[in-house]
Structure formats: structure tokens, C-alpha cells
């Protein structure tokens, strides 16, 4: 069967559509042909796939061929079964007949004959040529067609359809299509069944010696082709997949050693998308095919189907795996293949896959994730070809143009060298080329990175090429290594390409000398005899490659450095772009870095910087510092060249903030010096620099600094510097951010002077102006180095900068500063509320209570109000104020250390008032203290006594004095507390007098009662009475009580009485020279025994000389009024008795007074209206409501004995004993009026009568 | 031969990376590990595609390259373990058992109260354990 292979291929090539045979019985085909062909491809073909599931084929092209056509005739039956796919799938029998007899006699037998072959799927198309207007013809045609249907159609299957040439035909074509489809379906099923049976039969023989893969292939591919023709591409693809699996099993089966293939010219160009690349007959080997070609053929067939299925993604992904696995196969056969055949093949395969799939791929045609995957595979293909291309480039000496990046190193250094059977040898007459290559190698210098960073370059080679190449040469055994190294060391010296420092020969210098001579043209004539040098290896490889590569494009791109670079860049860009469109962003960005390296080399710094930035951002973002350290210097260099100062500075800062182990101290110092020098140079546009990663700061550990509202303070902050050396900051400031108010920008604290930051931890102190209440966290640290403003947002958490921690930007929650809400910080109060002695120097106590706040250095302004002055000559005493808390505290203290009490005792100090203020001593900062201020209240008025008739009416305000206090405290005296305290001053006694007894001889016993008004014992030492005119002391006494009673001690609040015996004297007024004394004066000599902590006390000035008893004595003078008795009454006023039933609240009552003239009033009081008197009714308005005239004149005749009654209506308002209204006669001196009753009296007022009607029950 | 093992944090930051090559080429292994995160990300973000594989921590082969293989392992806390080996015929079961032991070592290391989660693992004991595991794996 294998012999049919060629024929099979030809037939397969010529068949492209399903064939429908047309049996033209009545010569109708020419008439209907065009319309038949117009109605294909079939639009809705429902076919069965291999698993007998219905598949909807949207467009199925068919070809109508007459059975008489040469193409369908003269085929051998064997051929027919083998190439069944080209046999008709249906037979259309075209008939027409208008006569029933003709049908019966001629047409029917003929049709029976045609359709008797069961193998064929057939149906009859009856063409009616009858014109619709011709009724009879139509009728007979109908009859014939009915007969035809009866004859050929069965219940199971409708095999007839009718085409009216002149009539409407819409239904016909649908009918026809259904019928054709049905036929095709049946035929297809049968044929597939047949092939499957055949294939199964063959498969059963698989492990028998007679088994032939070619036969199996023909059957399998025929089946695949049948499916493909029927547009069942999925099934076709499955057949090919099975075929591939089967093939791979065949070749992997142990046993026969087969030829691999791939030795033909042009085989290096991958043909994995071109099934017709080679005739299958060419690649037949024994009973199978050569692997190299056949696998590519199979893949090509698969990819063709996949493209038809519109699945370019699958082509790419299958292609990638295919390339990988095929490359493995190529590796296995590397020793028979041309030099680097594998690399070349992979490159071309990848590129062709990329181009083919990319041209079939349309964005948006597939699901987004498939699309991403597609681009990923494209990227993979690009990068695979890129790796292989780099390898080729390296082999021919372009290694220096390949960046020794981690990516390239990872790709190349783990990729083994090609292992040809024999390493290519140097072609003849290559000496000049070798020399040139050597020159190039010698000229190459390893580029040192910016900042003088020196790193060992990453390897691009899996092992030393020199050794590998020489070992594989036929003429050399692996043993003579020393010889090889002699030849090698010259290259090691100059190029740095062979990075293997361990093997650096100790005899390098000698070797140099040797190789110099070696490299002279005369000595390379016979390279076979000695190990090849690197340049020679390159030249030899290039020569060999030129033979291997048939692809013009590829060979051109390897022909010169420029072309190499261009292709390299193309591939890198392709890979990067595709990766960027896929999920694999990291791959894309890393490749950008490779592009950047090339751009950099060509001076395209702008692009290079952009790409490097992306790479650095990627590595920095995820904290891959080792990789970042490799790229960041490159970026910095670009930025420097582009004079992008901001970028350059930030790169330097980033370099500095990388892990310290990544750079040497020297390198780090170089970074710093760059920063500093740039900062101090003239910057065109000074830019802020973020040094968050380099300079971090934190508050001191422990609780936050607590300040009261309005207080300034100092804030100590720890700043970590990541600079390797000391760095001078011209200024430094720090913002604080209130936690409760994020809108407002923080307030900046400035550190005044230039600061030098040491590497590591530094403590910086900031002066803190008063802040608003709230808690604050650290905000931003800003500063200036030269012209450079920098800022740092980074908070270290109490430890040194951990550079691996890229999450350190989160805000610290710990507040650094707490400003409490305004609260009372101190309290000033008067210590004593009881009264002091007026007109004496008294100690006023002012209690100063700090409320959790230090009063260090506080100053108290004392401003006394009117009537008060400070006796500043005595100084102000300050002492500890022992309150309850204090006692508890001290008792505790005492338990701890007894000595502490001593210091407490000392807490008493004399302070001086200077310009109205005193400054608190140190000890008083935190304890309650009391200030004793000596003051004197000035009271001009003489104290007046009162008679017992008119009770004491004290005016509280009279003795009140105020002291305005203003305390300035806090760190800068910023806190001010103001308070005005009131102090009460009073006379020591209140004096009341009454006449205790009135003797017949006119002697009056005057009782003087002294009521103590102060909280101190008053010691009365002496008392005398200076009487007013009209009174004299009885006897010869000087008006002093018996001295035996003195001293008399009057306790606080108690009363004492003195009795004086006086009588009135009328005739004293004759002594004209004597001064008229209106009032009597009571003089009391007294002393005070009181504690200043309780109230009145010994006056300050007295206090000084406490021993002198004389000076202890004070004199109190009080005026008392003595009233002469009414001796010659002219008028008598009598209060008429009230009704007997008493007074009631709210009850109207008439008060009556009778006024009677006792004698005519004489004397100087000249009265214009002598026959009338002026009266006035006085009543306490709280107690009485008075109706009527309160004041007025009433007629009273001048005759003695004339009388009148004055009555007035009153309503008592309160119940109880109250003073009734009083009738006075203002015009007449009191001494002429006799009253009855003579003094004030009380009347009883009853409560109002209960009125039950107003009672409301209360629940 | 295992050339590199790495622990990568859930924010794709390296927590521990150790190469076992003689040459001074750790950087390329850093690169390989870093790029393999692309694959892990892709698998984690497209559970549809990876199907059942996400039910277990072992992610299997990440990179089917010609020259080396990269295997991944994802813990419950989204910490990734990555293994780079140059052995081309590796059995999955071996890698699985390797990762299981490695995971145990990692858990021990991060259970140290002085270890800050999310920070690099600096434990010397961990490094030694890892070295032992790698060595035993090579011997197998």
C-alpha cells in the first residue's frame, strides 16, 4: 500500500470539495447546471462526526460531476476504496417525463437499473418543463411525478423532488439541499466506518513485524482528509493528533536505528507550518518516515486545521511545546546534524510561528484570557528565539554586545553549549579574520558601572567555551589542559569574556608574552595541532554557521555586530511587547531593561532611562533589592547624563537606602558625595527630594509628651540616617499632624541650627510652640541640604531602618504629643472667709493650689482695690499649705523616709513684692501653698453703735475689700490665671446700748454691749466713755468701769456688757468754748489673740514686737448716741388700741393714733402753720399694705388740750408678731413728742381664715 | 541539582532566597525566581485555567524551559516557595515531598516569636535546615 503514497498525495492535492455525481438521464444537466452550481456551497449541512454526534457545518462546498465525466470513470475498485474520499457522496438522478406511459415503459426500468446499486446514495430530481399556463401538461406532469414518488420514495425515505423550471422554485432548493446533505451524511458515515474498521485492523497488527507505518499513515490521513473535506476540522485534527502519538511511539520504540533527517539543504529553516515543504515520498524510510521532516509535516497539518478552526492561539501554544520537544530531539541527534542546526531551527521555527499566528490573530476575536495567553505564548516564542540567537551571536564572537544582565545570564548560562561531533575547525586562509577578531576582543574593556561600582559580571556561558570547543576537536585529547590555558589566558586578560577567575593562571604574565607571539599571523597556520584560541573558535564557528544557515535573513543578521544588534533588539522588543500584553508583566519589564541597555549603548539615554525606571520600579515595588541594586546604577547614570537632577538625586537616595550589604562602604560614600555635591551646586530647578527610605524618624519610646493647652515645650525626636557618613543638614523641620483634624496641615517645627546627622541614630530636639489641644502624630520631616529640599514620610518603629521593609510607610498610630484641653491649672482662693480687723495691718491668706501643673517660676501680680493697701515693708510670707491630700502624702513619705519632713519644714519663705508681683520659689512649684500678704484696709468712718431699740443692721459690703490677683506661670509665663478675691474687714466689736435703769434722781444706768465680730479672742483691757453734751458721768468717776474686771476676754461671736452710770446735765451748754460733741464716744483698749489662719489676728506691725505689751493694745472707738428723755413734751401721740378680735392677714383694719397738744410750743422753732402738724406713717412694706395718705398735714388747734385722731387703713400681709406702722411727726423735734407706747412694740397678726373652698384634694 | 530555593511573601517580596551554585551568579537565580512569580500570579488569578491544581498547595512545574525547571508551592497564607532545579527529569512526588519538608521548616522558622511576619527570614537554623533538605534531596 505504501506504493500508493505518491498517488495518494497527488490525489489529495487535487481534491478540495465533496463530489456529487449527476446521472443525467434526460439530458437536463446543461439546463440546470448553472442553477445547481449557484446554490452551493450548502448552507446548513448537518453531518455526523466521528463519534456520531451531529455537527452543524455552516458552509459546505460541493462539486457536481456528471457520471459520464472522465474523473469518475475508469477507476479500479481497489483504488476506489483507498481513495474513497474522492468518490461521489451522492448521486443525483435528473429525469423528466410528461407522459405516464413513457414513464412506465422506459423511464422506470432505466431508473431501477441506475439505483439498484446499494452502495450509492441517490435521489431523483424530477424536472418539470410544463408551463403553468398549460394545464394539461401540468396535470400529466403531476401524475407522472406522483407515480415516480410511489415507485421510488418510501415511508422511510423521501427520494424524489421536483424542480419546476417555469414555476416557483424556492422550496425545491431547500429540498435539494436537505437531500444532498442526507446523502452526504450517510455516505460519510459509511466511509468513516469503513476507514475505522480498516484502521482498527491495522492497529491490531501494530506490534507484528509486518506492520507498516506508511500504510497506517495513508489510512489515517485519508480519514483525516475525509473529515477535512466535510469541514469536520475537529475530527481531522484528532486524527492527526492520534497519528502523531502513534508516530512518536514508533520512533521511541527501541530497536531499529533510523535516519533522523535534517541533513538536506534548507532543513535548518523550520517547515513546521508548511506541509508541502517536502514530498512525503522523499522522506519515506523503510516502513516509516524520517523523524525530522515527518514531525514537522504532522505539525504543519495540525496547524493548518487549527488555522481553519480560527485558533491561532492553539497553533502558537502547541507550536511552542512542539519547538521545545523538537529541540530535544535535535539535541539527541546533534552529533549528526550540522553545527548549531538546533539553534538555527529553533529560531526559524519560533519566528515563523510568531508571524503566522500573529497574522491570524485578531484582537477581540477571542476571550480576553485566551488573548492574554496568546500574547504570553508569543512572548515565549520571541524570547526562546532570542536566547538561541544570543547563543549563536556569542559563538561567533558577539558576546561583548550581549548585556550581562541577570536575564541573559539565566538564559544562557544554563543552556549547554552545542555538542557537535567535532567542533568546527578553522577554515583555510582565515588568518586575517582571526587577527581582526582578536583585535576586537583585545579592544573590549569591561565597562565599569557608574559610581565606580565593580561587580563580577554574570556568566553568559555554561562552561568555559575554550575548553569545550577544544575538547571536541578530533586532534586533541581532553588531557592536555595546560596547553589550552596557555592559549586562553591572553583572552582572559583582555576581554573578560571568559569569566572564570578561579582559573586565572599564576603564570599570566609569561603567558601574555607567549600569546603575543602566538597571535602573529605566522603562527596560526596549522591550528589543528594546537588548541584553538578564542578568536579562532569564533571564526571557525562563524564559518560553520554560514554553512548551516540557509535563511538569508538570519545569516544577514549574524553577519555584523550592527545587524546582530538590530535583530537582537527586534526579538527583545517583540518579546517585551507581547509579555506586556499578557499576564506576565514581570517578564515584559525585565526585557525592557534589556532594551534599555542597548539604547544606553547607543546613546539613546532618554529611552534607556524610561525603561530602566520601569525595571527599577518593578523591583523596588516588590522589594527585590539584589536585582534593584543591579539596575539602579544604570538608571542613575542615564539620569546624570540627561542632567535629570531630580531623578538622579532620587536614584542616589534609593541606592543609599538599599540594603547595606549590597554595596561596599566606598560605593555608598560615592552615592552620598554625589548627593551632597549636587545639593551644594547651583541647581537650576531645586526640587524636593523624597528621602523617606533613607532618613526615618520616630518619637521617643514611652508615653507621649503631655502638655497643657498653650504651653510651649521641647519635642525630642529620633532620626535615623541611612547615609554612610555624617551629613550636614542646613535646616531641619518636622510637622505635627493632629489626629483629630486631618484637614489642617500640620504645623512645622523648626530646628534652628544646622544639624549634623551621624549614620544611625540621632536625637534631635525641636522647640515646640503652643499647640491647639489634641493629640499629635509625627507628620513629615523636611530639611535642606545646600539647595536641596528633602522630605521624609517614613516612620521607623523604634528600630533602625529596615530596608527590606517596604511597608514602613504606614502611619504610626502612637501619638507623640498630647495637648490637653483647657482646664484649670491652678486655683487661687482666699484662705479665710471670716472678717479681719479694719484699719489694722492684717495677714491675708491666699491659697495657691496647682492642679497637676508645675508653677515653677510663676509670678503673682497683686493689685489691691480701693480702701486696701499692702504693707509691703513686711514682705510676703509663703508657706506650704497643708491640705488633706498633703497629709496623706506626707504620712506616706514619712513611712518611706523620715528625713523628708525636714525639707517640708523649710517650705516657708519670705518673699518681696517688686513692682506689684512676687515670684514663687522653687519648692512651691508643685505643692499647695499659702501666701500671707500683709494688708491694711482703710475705713474712715467711725464705728457707730446702735441702741437696742434699733437692732444691728450690718452692711456686708461696707467692710468688703477686693484683691485682684493675676498669676503668670507655665514655661514661658504663658499661662495666666486671674481671680479677684474678696476679703472682709470689720471693727472688732459692734456696740449696742440701752438704758438699763432709770433712777429717780435722774441717774441712768447705761448698758453697753460689745459683740465680737471677729474670729479671735478680744481682750478688753480698758474702756471709757467720752460723753456727749448733756450727759455727765455720775460722781467723780472718769467714766471707766471698775478696773478689776479687766482684762475682759470676749470669745469669738460672744457678747460682753459694760455698765456706765451717767446722768443728764442741762447747763453744760453755758460753757461756750467747749466743742459741741454730738455723739458720745466709747473707747475700748483691747488686744487681739487670734490665729491668722482663722481670721482676725494681731496686726502685723504689732506682731513684730510681740513682747511689748503696751503696743499690743489697740484702741477701738465707737460712737453711740444717747438720747435725752422727753422732758417737756408738747404733743402726745397715742396708739389707740386695736380691736379685740385681733388682726388677720388680709383683713382690712383701721389704725388710729390720737395726737394731743399738751402745751403750746414755744421757742425758736418758728412755725408758719402753727395750727397744723405734719404727720408721716412709716411701715414696713413687707408686712403692711397701707391705704390712704401716709404723709400730710392735719389741723390741730394751738390750744392746749386740743386733740385729733389720725386713722389710716391697713392690711397686714404676714402673720406673726410684727411691728405696726408708726406715726411720726417730722416737723417736731423728738424731744418734744411723748409717745405711748414709748418705744417700738409688736402686734400679733393671725393667719388668714382657712378657706376650705380652695382645698383641692391631692393624690 | 537544586540550584535555588526561595520563600516569597504574599506581597511578592523575597523573604528568603538561597542559591546552591558554586559560581557567583545568585542574581540570575533571583531573576528566575522573580519572573516565576508571573506564572504563580497567573495561576492564582485565573483559577479557571489551572482548574483543580489550586486545591493543593503544590503548584507543580511553573516553567517548562529547556534548561532548568521551576516548581512552585503556595501556602495558605499566600507565601510562595519556589524551587529551581537543573535536573530535567524530576518526579513530581519528589518535589512534593521536598516542598512538604520545606514548608515544615518554614513554619518552624516563622513560629519563632522573634520573627516579624512579612520580614526576611534571618534564622540560621532555618538556613541550615534548608541546606540539609536540599542536600538530602540531591542524594536521593
3-state secondary structure A675-736: HHHHHHCCCCCCCEEECCCCEEEEECCCCCEEECCCCCEEEEEEEEECCCCCEEECEEEEEE
Q: What is the CA A73 to chain-centroid distance, rounded? A: 84
Q: Does A583 contact B26 at a Cβ distance shorter than 8 Å?
A: no
Report the interhelical angle of A431-443 vs A481-494 (nearest 10°).
50
Burial class (CB in 10 A: 0-12, 13-18, 19+), A366: middle
Smallest CA–CA distance, residue B76 to chain A, in Å, is: 20
Q: List helix spans (H) across B1-111.
A: 26-45, 47-50, 92-111
Q: Does B18 reach chain A within 8 Å, measured CB to CB?
A: no
Q: Does B13 reach chain A within 8 Å, measured CB to CB?
A: yes
From chain B, the residues in CB contact with A586 under 8 A are 34-35, 37-38
Q: Does B10 reach chain A within 8 Å, measured CB to CB?
A: no
Residue from A413, A579, A621, A624 to probe the interface with B (highest B Cβ count within 10 Å): A624
Q: Does B128 reach chain A within 8 Å, measured CB to CB?
A: no
Distance CA A707, CA A770 (A): 9
Helix, strand, or coil (residue A22): strand
All three cell numbers of A1143, joined, read 388682726
All three cell numbers of A621, joined, read 515595588
Q: Does A587 contact B38 at a Cβ distance shorter than 8 Å?
A: yes
CB A861 within 8 A of CB A956: no
Residue partners of A443: CB distance under 8 A and separation at least 6: none
Pick the closest to residue A1181 from A1150, A1159, A1148, A1214 (CA basis).
A1214
Mean pLDDT (10-residue bins), chain A, 1259 residues: 73 82 86 85 84 86 86 65 78 86 86 80 86 83 87 84 79 86 89 89 83 85 89 91 88 75 84 83 81 91 92 92 90 88 92 93 84 91 93 89 89 88 84 86 75 83 86 57 42 40 39 39 49 87 89 90 92 94 90 92 91 91 89 91 86 86 88 86 75 80 80 82 86 81 67 80 83 80 82 60 43 72 83 83 86 83 84 82 58 46 59 82 83 83 66 64 86 83 85 77 80 85 79 72 76 84 62 56 84 80 53 76 66 82 84 82 52 84 85 82 86 87 81 74 82 64
Return the ∠ at Cα A834 (arms to A830 and A835), rounded to 5°: 105
Smallest CA–CA distance, residue A416 to chain B, in Å, is: 8
Q: Does B34 contact A414 at a Cβ distance shorter than 8 Å?
A: no
First-to-last CA distance in chain A?
126
Which residue in chain A has the smallest CA separation from B88?
A328
pLDDT value for A346: 93
Residue partners of A926: CB distance under 8 A and separation at least 6: A850, A854, A855
| Residue B119 reports pLDDT greater than 80 | yes
All three cell numbers of A713, joined, read 515645650
Q: Does B13 contact A583 at a Cβ distance shorter than 8 Å?
A: no
From chain A, the residues in CB contact with B32 under 8 A are 410
pLDDT value for B81: 94
Largest CA distance in chain A: 196
Smallest CA–CA distance, residue A661 to chain B, in Å, is: 14
Q: How many Cβ atoms sit within 10 Å of the Cβ of residue A938?
A: 13
Residues from A in contact with B at Cβ < 8 Å: 321, 324, 327-328, 369, 373, 376, 405-407, 409-410, 413-416, 456, 458-459, 583-587, 590, 619, 622-624, 626-627, 630, 802, 804-807
Handedness of CA B96, B97, B98, B102 (dihedral sign): positive
Residue from B13, B16, B115 to probe the interface with A (highest A Cβ count within 10 Å): B13
Q: List helix spans (H) across A495-584.
A: 508-518, 534-548, 552-557, 561-581
DSSP H or E segment with residue A257:
none
Distance CA A469, CA A492 (A): 16
* Prior bond of A41 cis (ω within 30°): yes
Q: Which ipTM was obtained for this model?
A: 0.94
Residue partners of A1120: CB distance under 8 A and separation at least 6: A944, A945, A947, A991, A993, A1008, A1079, A1080, A1081, A1082
Q: Does A586 contact B37 at a Cβ distance shorter than 8 Å?
A: yes
Handedness of CA A349, A354, A355, A360 (dihedral sign): positive
pLDDT value for A494: 38
| Residue B129 reports pLDDT greater than 90 | yes
Q: Does B30 contact A458 at a Cβ distance shorter than 8 Å?
A: no
Handedness of CA A799, A801, A804, A805 (dihedral sign): positive
Q: Does B86 reach chain A within 8 Å, measured CB to CB?
A: yes
Q: Which residues pair with A289 in a beta bridge?
A: A284
Return the ∠ at Cα A6 (arms to A3 and A7), rounded to 5°: 90
Distance CA A1166, CA A719 (A): 103
Q: What is the CA A681 to chain-centroid distance, rounded? A: 36
Smallest CA–CA distance, residue A821 to chain B, in Å, is: 38
B8 vs A683, residue with greater confidence: B8
Q: Does B35 contact A805 at a Cβ distance shorter than 8 Å?
A: no
Q: Does A406 contact B12 at a Cβ distance shorter than 8 Å?
A: no
All three cell numbers of A203, joined, read 492497529
Q: Does B12 reach chain A within 8 Å, measured CB to CB?
A: yes
Q: Give pLDDT tens digits for B70-102.
A: 999 998 888 999 999 988 778 888 899 999 999
CB A150 within 8 A of CB A158: no
Q: Does A622 contact B118 at a Cβ distance shorter than 8 Å?
A: no
A vs B: CB pairs below 8 A: 92
Helix, strand, or coil (residue A93): strand
From chain B, the residues in CB contact with A630 under 8 A are 27
Amino acid at each position: 500500500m505504501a506504493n500508493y503514497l505518491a498517488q495518494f498525495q497527488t490525489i489529495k492535492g487535487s481534491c478540495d470539495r465533496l463530489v456529487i455525481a449527476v446521472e443525467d438521464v434526460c439530458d437536463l444537466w446543461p439546463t440546470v447546471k448553472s442553477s445547481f452550481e449557484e446554490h452551493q456551497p450548502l448552507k446548513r449541512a448537518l453531518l455526523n462526526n466521528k463519534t456520531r454526534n451531529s455537527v452543524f457545518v455552516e458552509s459546505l462546498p460541493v462539486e457536481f460531476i456528471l457520471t459520464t465525466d472522465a474523473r469518475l470513470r475508469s477507476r479500479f475498485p481497489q483504488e476506489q476504496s483507498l481513495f474513497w474520499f474522492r468518490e461521489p457522496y451522492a448521486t443525483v438522478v435528473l429525469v423528466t417525463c410528461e407522459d405516464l406511459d413513457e414513464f412506465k415503459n422506459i423511464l422506470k426500468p432505466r431508473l431501477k437499473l441506475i439505483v439498484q446499486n446499494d452502495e450509492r446514495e441517490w435521489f431523483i430530481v424530477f424536472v418539470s418543463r410544463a408551463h403553468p399556463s398549460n394545464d394539461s401538461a401540468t396535470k400529466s406532469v403531476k401524475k407522472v411525478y406522483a407515480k415516480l414518488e410511489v415507485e421510488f420514495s418510501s415511508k422511510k425515505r423521501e427520494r424524489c423532488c421536483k424542480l419546476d423550471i417555469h414555476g416557483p422554485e424556492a422550496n425545491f432548493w431547500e429540498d435539494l439541499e436537505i437531500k444532498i446533505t442526507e446523502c452526504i451524511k450517510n455516505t460519510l458515515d459509511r466511509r468513516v466506518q469503513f476507514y475505522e474498521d480498516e484502521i482498527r485492523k491495522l492497529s491490531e497488527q501494530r506490534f507484528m513485524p509486518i506492520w507498516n507505518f506508511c500504510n497506517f499513515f495513508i489510512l489515517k490521513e485519508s480519514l483525516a482528509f475525509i473529515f477535512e473535506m466535510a469541514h469536520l476540522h475537529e475530527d481531522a485534527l484528532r486524527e492527526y493528533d492520534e497519528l502523531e502519538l502513534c508516530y512518536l511511539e514508533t520512533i521511541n520504540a527501541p530497536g531499529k536505528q533510523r535516519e533522523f533527517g535534517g541533513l538536506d539543504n534548507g532543513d535548518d529553516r523550520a517547515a513546521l507550518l508548511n506541509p508541502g515543504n517536502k514530498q512525503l515520498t522523499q522522506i519515506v524510510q523503510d516502513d516509516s518516515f524520517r523523524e525530522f521532516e515527518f514531525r514537522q509535516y504532522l505539525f504543519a497539518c495540525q496547524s493548518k486545521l487549527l488555522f481553519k478552526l480560527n485558533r491561532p492561539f492553539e497553533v502558537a501554544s502547541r507550536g511552542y511545546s512542539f519547538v521545545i520537544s523538537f529541540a530535544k530531539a535535535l539535541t539527541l541527534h546533534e552529533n549528526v546534524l550540522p553545527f548549531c542546526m538546533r539553534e538555527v531551527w529553533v529560531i526559524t521555527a519560533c519566528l515563523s510561528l510568531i508571524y503566522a499566528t500573529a497574522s491570524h490573530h485578531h484582537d477581540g476575536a477571542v476571550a480576553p484570557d485566551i488573548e492574554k495567553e496568546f500574547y504570553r505564548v508569543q512572548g515565549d516564542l520571541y524570547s526562546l528565539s532570542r536566547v538561541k540567537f544570543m547563543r549563536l551571536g556569542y559563538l561567533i564572537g558577539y558576546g561583548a554586545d550581549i548585556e550581562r544582565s541577570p536575564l541573559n545570564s539565566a538564559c544562557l548560562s544554563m543552556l549547554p553549549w552545542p555538542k557537535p561531533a567535532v567542533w568546527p575547525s578553522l577554515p583555510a586562509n582565515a588568518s586575517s579574520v582571526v587577527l581582526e577578531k582578536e583585535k576586537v576582543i583585545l579592544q573590549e574593556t569591561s565597562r565599569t558601572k557608574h559610581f565606580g561600582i565593580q561587580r563580577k559580571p554574570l556568566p553568559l556561558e555554561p562552561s568555559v567555551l575554550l575548553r569545550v570547543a577544544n575538547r571536541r576537536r578530533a586532534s586533541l585529547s581532553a588531557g592536555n589542559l595546560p596547553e589550552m590555558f596557555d592559549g586562553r589566558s591572553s583572552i582572559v586578560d583582555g576581554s573578560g569574556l571568559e569569566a572564570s577567575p578561579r582559573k586565572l593562571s599564576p603564570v599570566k604574565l609569561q603567558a601574555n608574552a607567549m600569546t603575543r607571539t602566538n597571535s602573529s599571523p605566522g603562527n596560526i597556520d596549522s591550528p589543528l595541532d594546537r588548541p584553538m584560541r578564542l578568536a579562532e573558535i569564533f571564526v571557525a564557528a562563524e564559518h560553520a554557521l554560514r554553512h548551516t544557515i540557509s535563511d538569508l535573513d538570519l545569516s544577514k543578521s549574524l553577519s555584523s555586530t550592527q545587524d546582530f544588534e538590530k535583530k537582537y533588539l527586534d526579538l527583545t522588543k517583540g518579546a517585551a511587547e507581547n509579555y506586556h500584553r499578557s499576564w506576565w508583566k514581570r517578564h515584559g519589564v525585565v526585557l525592557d531593561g534589556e532594551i534599555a541597555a542597548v539604547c544606553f549603548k547607543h546613546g539613546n539615554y532618554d529611552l534607556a532611562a524610561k525603561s530602566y525606571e520601569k525595571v527599577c520600579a518593578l523591583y523596588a515595588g516588590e522589594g527585590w533589592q539584589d536585582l534593584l541594586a543591579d539596575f539602579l546604577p544604570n538608571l542613575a547614570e542615564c539620569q546624570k547624563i540627561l542632567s535629570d537632577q531630580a531623578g538622579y538625586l532620587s536614584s542616589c537616595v534609593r541606592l543609599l537606602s538599599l540594603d547595606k550589604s549590597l554595596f561596599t562602604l566606598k560605593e555608598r560614600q560615592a552615592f552620598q558625595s554625589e548627593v551632597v555635591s549636587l545639593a551644594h551646586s547651583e541647581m537650576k530647578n531645586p526640587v524636593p527630594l523624597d528621602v523617606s527610605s533613607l532618613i526615618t524618624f520616630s518619637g521617643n519610646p514611652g508615653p507621649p509628651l503631655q502638655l497643657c493647652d498653650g504651653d510651649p515645650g521641647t519635642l525630642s525626636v529620633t532620626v535615623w540616617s541611612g547615609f554612610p557618613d555624617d551629613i550636614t543638614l542646613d535646616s531641619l523641620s518636622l510637622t505635627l499632624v493632629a489626629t483629630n483634624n486631618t484637614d489642617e496641615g500640620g504645623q512645622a517645627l523648626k530646628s534652628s541650627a544646622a544639624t549634623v546627622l551621624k549614620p544611625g541614630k540621632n536625637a534631635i530636639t525641636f522647640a515646640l510652640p503652643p499647640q491647639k489641644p489634641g493629640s499629635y502624630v509625627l507628620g513629615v520631616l523636611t530639611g535642606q541640604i545646600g539647595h536641596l529640599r528633602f522630605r521624609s514620610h517614613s516612620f521607623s518603629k523604634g528600630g533602625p531602618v529596615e530596608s527590606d521593609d517596604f511597608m514602613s510607610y504606614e502611619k504610626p498610630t502612637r501619638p507623640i504629643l498630647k495637648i490637653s484641653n483647657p482646664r484649670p491649672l491652678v486655683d487661687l482662693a482666699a484662705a479665710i472667709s471670716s472678717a479681719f480687723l479694719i484699719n489694722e495691718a492684717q495677714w491675708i491668706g491666699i491659697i495657691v493650689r496647682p492642679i497637676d501643673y508645675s508653677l515653677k517660676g510663676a509670678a503673682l501680680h497683686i493689685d489691691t482695690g480701693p480702701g486696701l493697701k499692702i504693707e509691703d515693708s513686711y514682705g510676703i510670707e509663703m508657706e506650704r499649705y497643708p491640705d488633706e491630700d498633703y497629709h496623706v502624702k506626707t504620712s506616706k513619705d514619712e513611712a518611706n523616709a523620715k528625713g523628708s519632713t525636714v525639707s517640708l519644714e523649710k517650705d516657708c519663705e519670705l518673699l518681696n513684692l517688686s513692682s506689684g508681683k512676687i515670684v514663687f520659689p522653687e519648692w512651691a512649684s508643685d505643692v499647695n501653698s499659702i501666701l500671707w500678704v500683709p494688708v491694711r484696709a482703710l475705713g474712715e468712718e467711725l464705728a457707730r453703735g446702735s441702741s437696742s431699740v434699733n437692732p444691728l443692721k450690718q452692711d456686708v459690703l461696707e467692710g468688703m475689700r477686693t484683691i485682684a490677683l493675676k498669676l503668670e506661670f507655665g514655661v514661658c509665663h504663658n499661662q495666666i490665671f486671674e481671680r479677684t478675691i474678696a476679703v472682709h474687714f470689720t471693727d472688732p466689736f459692734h456696740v449696742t446700748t440701752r438704758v438699763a435703769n432709770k433712777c429717780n434722781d435722774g441717774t441712768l444706768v447705761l448698758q453697753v454691749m460689745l459683740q465680737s465680730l471677729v474670729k479671735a479672742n478680744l481682750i478688753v483691757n480698758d474702756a471709757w466713755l467720752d460723753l456727749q453734751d448733756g450727759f455727765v458721768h455720775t460722781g467723780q468717776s472718769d467714766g471707766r468701769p471698775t478696773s478689776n474686771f479687766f482684762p475682759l476676754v470676749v470669745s469669738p461671736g460672744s457678747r460682753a456688757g459694760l455698765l456706765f452710770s451717767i446722768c443728764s446735765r442741762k447747763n453744760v451748754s453755758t460753757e461756750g468754748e467747749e466743742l459741741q460733741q454730738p455723739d458720745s464716744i466709747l473707747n475700748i483698749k483691747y488686744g487681739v489673740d487670734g490665729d491668722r489662719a482663722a481670721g482676725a489676728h494681731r496686726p502685723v506691725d504689732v506682731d513684730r514686737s510681740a513682747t511689748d505689751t503696751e503696743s499690743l493694745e489697740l484702741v477701738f472707738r465707737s460712737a453711740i448716741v444717747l438720747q435725752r428723755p422727753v422732758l417737756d413734751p408738747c404733743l402726745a401721740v397715742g396708739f389707740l388700741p386695736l380691736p379685740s378680735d385681733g388682726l388677720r392677714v388680709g383683713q382690712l383694719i383701721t389704725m388710729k393714733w390720737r395726737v394731743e397738744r399738751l402745751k403750746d410750743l414755744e421757742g425758736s422753732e418758728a412755725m408758719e402753720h402753727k395750727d397744723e402738724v405734719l404727720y408721716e406713717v412709716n411701715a414696713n412694706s413687707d408686712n403692711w399694705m397701707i391705704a390712704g395718705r401716709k404723709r400730710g398735714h392735719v389741723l390741730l388747734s394751738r390750744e392746749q388740750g386740743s386733740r385729733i385722731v389720725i386713722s389710716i387703713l391697713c392690711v397686714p400681709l404676714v402673720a406673726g408678731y410684727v411691728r405696726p406702722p408708726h406715726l411720726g411727726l417730722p416737723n417736731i423735734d423728738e424731744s418734744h413728742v411723748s409717745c405711748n407706747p414709748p418705744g417700738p412694740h409688736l402686734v400679733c397678726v393671725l393667719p388668714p381664715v382657712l378657706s376650705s373652698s380652695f382645698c383641692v384634694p391631692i393624690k | 541539582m537544586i540550584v535555588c530555593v526561595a520563600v516569597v511573601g504574599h506581597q511578592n517580596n523575597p523573604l528568603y532566597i538561597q542559591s546552591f551554585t558554586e559560581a557567583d551568579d545568585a542574581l540570575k537565580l533571583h531573576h528566575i525566581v522573580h519572573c516565576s512569580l508571573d506564572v504563580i500570579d497567573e495561576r492564582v488569578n485565573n483559577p479557571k485555567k489551572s482548574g483543580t491544581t489550586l486545591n493543593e498547595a503544590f503548584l507543580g512545574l511553573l516553567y517548562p524551559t529547556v534548561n532548568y525547571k521551576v516548581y512552585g508551592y503556595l501556602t495558605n497564607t499566600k507565601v510562595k516557595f519556589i524551587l529551581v532545579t537543573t535536573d530535567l527529569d524530576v518526579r513530581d512526588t519528589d518535589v512534593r515531598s521536598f516542598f512538604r519538608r520545606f514548608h515544615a521548616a518554614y513554619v518552624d522558622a516563622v513560629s519563632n516569636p522573634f520573627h516579624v511576619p512579612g520580614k526576611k527570614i534571618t534564622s540560621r537554623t532555618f538556613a541550615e535546615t534548608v541546606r540539609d533538605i536540599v542536600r538530602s534531596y540531591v542524594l536521593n
